Amino acid sequence: MPNVTASGFAGRNDDDRTHVLPNDTATEDFELLEAMLHRHTEPSMLLMKGIEALKKAAKEPMHDESKGCSKEFTTLRSVLKLLIAKARYGLSDVGFDTFLRIIRDMLPKENKLPANTYHAKKLISPLTMGVEKIHACRNYCILYRDDEYKDLDRCPKCGASRYKINKDFR
């Protein structure tokens, strides 16, 4: 089993060590975070629910500095790094919840780490992009969008129904 060093490398010996943990510099993290926050500075976006919580999380340390918390680990930065690791290594929500619970227990009691995946995703939700669902022909002929196709119920190329037909339901 490969071991992981404090610097984030895994392998049986120094020759086969590969980097397994994100190793972003504080400057890159800060610039990325600033760009994400400035993307939402339009007046209409400031009304968006959660933006104030996001800004607060970007500034507040993970736990009290008197208990040894570094200023570079804000709540937002910590949550983003953990969610990046979750995605990179394919952790399920249940696995990630367990992981968060263990980390919360390791940190001083008054820490700001979210209790579960739902709260972590809710914290970063103002940074996410909206999703537009677009129907597609089951035979990959067309997308039901634009003025030409958006109101059609059948594909003009192959004649397939736009909607799935449940034969058991009448």
Q: Cβ neighbours of residue 93 under 8 Å, at least 6 residues apart?
A: 117
How would residue 111 be classed by pLDDT, with cut points 50, 70 and 90? Answer: confident
Whether residue 90 has pLDDT greater than 90: yes
Q: How far apart are alpha carbons 126 and 47 in whole angstroms?
A: 11
137 & 123 share domain: no
Q: What domain count does the chain have? A: 2
- Phi and psi at 129, nearest 5°, equal -95, 155
| Stronger pLDDT, 108 or 129, i.e. the higher one | 108
Average pLDDT, the chain: 75
Whether residue 14 has pLDDT greater than 50: no
145 & 110 share domain: no
Which one of 10-14, 26-30, 107-111 scores highest in mean pLDDT?
107-111
148 & 120 share domain: no
Whether residue 44 has pLDDT greater than 90: no
